[in-house]
Amino acid sequence: MTTPTSRPVVLCLSGHDPVGGAGLQADIEALLAQQCHAAPAVTALTVQDTVDVSDFRVLDRAWVLAQAEAIIADLPVAAVKLGMLGSVEMVETVLEIMRRLPGVPLVCDPVLRAGGGGSLGKDEVGYALRERLFPASTIATPNLPEARILAELPEGTADECAERLLPHIKHLLITGGHGDEHEVHNRLYSRDGSRHDFTCARLPGSYHAQAARWPAPWPAAWRSARTSPEPCAARSTTPGARCAMPKRRGVGSTSRVACRWIWSEAARDENASWPLCHHRQHLLADGRLLPYAEAALRGGARLLQYRDKSPEEQRRLREAQALQALCERYGAELIVNDDAELAARLGVGLHLGQDDGSLSAARALLGRQAVIGATCHARLELADQAASEGASYVAFGRFFDSRTKPGAPGADLALLEQARRRLHLPIVAIGGVTLDNATSLIAAGASLVAVIHALFAADSAAEVERRARAFSQLFEPI
């Protein structure tokens, strides 16, 4: 291998879009946002603008094979993502390439129609995709019009198309955004009968390549290729939303709550500090979630973080909305952990761990003003990277023995001192923080502290409020 890379390499076989809204360029941008390295091989050239395709030419089989062989010989391909193929011969070419990559996950994005409705292949291409490529793929990601073509159901619903297509493929993600509905619905179906729906608000107008830059399906597919895709497979940039290119013309299981600081003008100063607090759901069972969260806000917490990775989307939405209302009542702000789509839907902030997705993609989705934080463990280089990608704050830890993550890498006070000199962002200290040891963290450079048990392991909401006030007082000037 002559081009070393620490990122997973994804071989992309697709067409070229000269206006850059779809095709290989969109794949490259989406995969980069997911911390992957895209290795593109061109299958077809197109003549198109932001509205429609006027012509295309599929490349010779030998040229596509030569590109793929050069990549496979030089780079450790971790997954393959397909886009426009354009001919039955190209379908067979892909199968030949996959025989050289045994066990490598294949994500099939069956590009059959351009955004303006123009065909990107003859009718038999759809049949070949379904009959030949789907059985070799981990997941397919058609939009609803493409799913109708593949299922041979011109007026079929997403459910009806899935029923027809699942015998051919293990997992099927039918994306929305092409109809006139007020919300975008993305539906993940699996052959075992499981289903997950992901809904987000639709932006006004019409967009070129509405789903082309939705980066989640292919990295999530190969990461979980030997298991079933998790609900988070659909959490990323919203199809038809901020990542899409506007058309030039045409028709427009665990749960946490964290209390953090609010981004008032005063708090933007590096010396302005507010308490950061955490808790686990088992501390807030039996109806304690909202009363205890409100008690923490009354005690001075100014930012509330919500984390829940369960598949119960409606419950998570209801809880997050209730917490958002509490934050608004007390002049605080809500942060959602590891769910950019939920954060975007509510218009709130986001916290990302190292395995929770791309910070730069989240920034592009949520906008410049959103509060987005990043976990950096005990490594300054991760904080440097987070800062370069637009983080609002960085979090280090664990600093003390932690019940929440006892196996997490340890950090020391010297790290905080180095970070304070090196970074121009608020610094969060997490892990085993109590009223007894928080002062040492603040003195070393922490502008925020994160607490779970020391705040919420209480017998009453009144005790939570008392502890929150005690943490708040640590940040008050003497």
Q: What is the 3-state secondary structure (H, E, C) of 258-293?
A: EEECCCCCHHHCCCCCCCCEEEEHHHHCCCCHHHHH
d(CA 36, CA 30): 9
Tokens of 90: 């190209």
**41: domain CATH number?**
3.40.1190.20
Looking at 222, 246, 270, which one is the last position of a domain? 246
Residue showing tokens 């994306």:
175
Same domain, yes or no: 200 and 318: no
Same domain, yes or no: 291 and 387: yes
Same domain, yes or no: 305 and 222: no
Residue 179 has pLDDT above 70, yes or no: no
Q: Looking at the domain assignment, is residue 4 inside a domain?
A: no
Same domain, yes or no: 436 and 333: yes
Residue numbers of the domain that contains 96: 9-246
Burial class of residue 2 (count of CB atoms within 10 Å of its CB; 0-12, 13-18, 19+): exposed
d(CA 14, CA 35): 20
Residue-wise DSSP of 203-239: PSS-EETTTTT--SHHHHHHHTTTSPPPGGGG-SSPT
Residue 260 has pLDDT above 80, yes or no: no
pLDDT digits (tens, 9 = 90+) for 23-46: 888 888 888 777 788 999 999 998
Residue 219 has pLDDT above 80, yes or no: no
Same domain, yes or no: 380 and 454: yes
Residue 441 has pLDDT above 50, yes or no: yes
Same domain, yes or no: 271 and 229: no
Tokens of 254: 């665990």
Is 221 within 8 Å of 107 (Cβ atoms)? Answer: yes
Same domain, yes or no: 364 and 464: yes
CA angle centred on 92, ends 88 and 97, rounded to 5°: 145
Q: Looking at the domain assignment, is residue 1 inside a domain?
A: no
Same domain, yes or no: 226 and 264: no
Q: What is the rounded average pLDDT of the residues 255-279? A: 35
d(CA 263, CA 398): 24
Residue 150 has pLDDT above 80, yes or no: yes
Same domain, yes or no: 270 and 233: no
β-strands 195-201, 37-48 pairing: unpaired
Kindly state the helix (H) or strand (E) to which residue 442 belongs, with its residue range.
helix 438-444
Look up the pTM and report it: 0.48
Q: Looking at the domain assignment, is residue 29 inside a domain?
A: yes
Same domain, yes or no: 232 and 109: yes
Same domain, yes or no: 367 and 341: yes
Give the C-alpha distances (Å, rounded to integers) separating 446 from 108, 359, 440, 442, 474. Answer: 46, 22, 9, 4, 12
Looking at 246, 271, 303, which one is the last position of a domain? 246
Q: Looking at the domain assignment, is residue 3 inside a domain?
A: no
Domain count along the chain: 2
Same domain, yes or no: 81 and 174: yes
d(CA 31, CA 25): 10
DSSP β-bridge partners for residue 106: 80
**450: domain CATH number?**
3.20.20.70
| Amino acid letter, residue 293 | A
Give the mean pLDDT of the chain. Answer: 78
With left for phi above 0 and alpha for psi between -120 and 50, is residue 331 left, alpha or beta?
A: left
Percent of the chain past pLDDT 70, that is, above it, reads 76
Q: What is the rounded average pLDDT of the residues 267-294? A: 57
